[in-house]
Amino acid sequence: MFYTLYNNGWRDVNSLRSWAFQYLPSKVTEVDGKNFSANILRDSKPWLIDFYAPWCGHCHQFSPIFEGVARRLDGKVNLGKINCDNHRQICERVSIHAYPTIKYYKGSNDSKRQEFLGDEIGNLDEDFIVNYINDQLQQQQQQQQQQQQASNVHHTTEL
């Protein structure tokens, strides 16, 4: 008899779900040191990053949840994940002390590099993460509108 061992033999629903998601197309980008600094920190579009370790059981259980977040936020933000065993320097620089850790990067202005630390999301619930990101996007949109209105007022007073 032949069978495939999944998630170190764990037999709970989350482990099976995590194992199955490995074989489906992913909306989450695997990030390395070069594209973290060049693409994420300088990108004008927001990113949500999962900092994980391959040996971490909680990370395996969170992986399908993060895929669900990616599907729900598709087109609004980019999602990526960083293997902290392979990219230890990045994880140390952004102050990762536990796995998994989720951080939100709002997007840079005028291609200026944004802060390495990002905003840490302390709750790993899918609905909480999606609501948090939607709230952040709404706040950013309101700030941009206010700045644009202030700029328009400044231009009209010059005439």
In this predicted structure, which of 6-10, 70-74, 99-103, 137-141 has the lowest mean pLDDT?
6-10
pLDDT digits (tens, 9 = 90+) for 72-131: 999 999 999 999 999 999 999 999 999 999 999 998 877 677 888 899 999 999 999 999
Over 90: is that where the pLDDT of 60 sits?
no
Q: Report residue 71's pLDDT band, with 50, 70 and 90 as the boundaries.
A: very high
In this predicted structure, which of 15-24, 28-37, 132-141 has the lowest mean pLDDT?
15-24
Q: Are 120 and 101 in contact (CB under 8 A)?
A: yes
Q: Between these two residues, 8 and 86, which has the higher pLDDT value?
A: 86
Give the CA angle between residues 11, 15, 17 to the nearest 5°.
120
User: Would residue 56 show up in a list of annotated catalytic residues for this protein?
Assistant: yes
Over 50: is that where the pLDDT of 1 sits?
no
**Domains in the chain, start-ordered, CATH in brackets?**
10-158 (3.40.30.10)
Residue 10 has φ and ψ, to the nearest 5°, of -65, 140
List the catalytic residue out of 59, 69, 73, 133.
Answer: 59
Over 90: is that where the pLDDT of 53 sits?
yes
List the catalytic residue out of 56, 124, 130, 137.
Answer: 56
3-state SS, residue 96: coil
User: Would residue 84 show up in a list of annotated catalytic residues for this protein?
Assistant: no
47-52: strand order across its sheet: 29-30, 78-83, 47-52, 101-105, 119-121
Q: Report residue 134's pLDDT band, with 50, 70 and 90 as the boundaries.
A: very high
Q: Between these two residues, 21 and 115, which has the higher pLDDT value?
A: 115
**In this structure, what token pair is assigned to residue 57?**
């059981």
- Sign of the four-CA dihedral 39, 44, 95, 18: negative
In this predicted structure, which of 28-37, 85-94, 126-135, 148-157 has the lowest mean pLDDT?
148-157
